[in-house]
Every structure is written in structure tokens, then in C-alpha cells.
Amino acid sequence: MLPFITEETREETLQEALQDVGEWRKKMVHYLKEENPEVNAAIIESSQKTGLDPKSIALGAYITYILLEKSEREESGVVEKFLEE
């Protein structure tokens, strides 16, 4: 099951990404190349093989990926804290 994305996480992530979209997207390309190269390859390939704007496709995919990753960490942290008590 996918983690729950809070409004706070969504707002923080969008604010971060939209400050300098081009630079943020470049950072995500490099981050995902290391963290999950197959996801990165799928994002790049899908953005190249459609008639849609590749930068927009990549931006949406990277935002979604990082939202899910941050939310997963938040949920894991809550579970870990609960188990420690």
C-alpha cells in the first residue's frame, strides 16, 4: 500500500521544487540515478517517447516519487517510535 501524503509534505515539496524548477529537476535526475536507476530510466524514456513536454512529464514524476519517498519515511518513523515505546 502506498504511504499517505500529508498536506504539509505536499506543500513543502512543491515549494522546494518550484523555487527553481530546472535546478530541482536536475538534482532529482542525479538522485534517482543513484537511488533507483530503473525508475529514472522509465521516467526519462516515457518523457522522450511521448508527444508531451518531456520536462513536464519528468517534473511530475519526480515530484510524485519524492512525495512517496518522504511519506514512506514519515510513516516508518512513526512506526519505529511506536515500537520503541
For residue 2, is it within any domain? no
The answer to the question of residue 34 being in a domain is yes
Q: Which long-range contacts (CB under 8 A, 24 or more apart) does 32-41 make?
A: 32/62, 32/65, 36/65, 39/65
Q: What is the full per-residue pLDDT of the chain (85 aa) written as tens digits?
A: 899 999 999 999 999 999 999 999 999 989 999 999 999 899 889 988 988 888 898 899 999 999 999 999 988 886 555 555 4
Domain presence at residue 5: no
Predicted confidence at residue 80, as pLDDT, reads 55
Count of the separate structural domains present in the chain: 1
Domain that holds residue 38: 22-84
What's this model's pTM, rounded to 2 decimal places? 0.81
Residue 9 counted as domain residue: no
Calculate Rg over the CA atoms of the chain.
15
Q: Which amino acid makes up residue 36?
A: N
CA–CA separation, 53 vs 71, rounded Å? 27
In a domain, 71, yes or no: yes
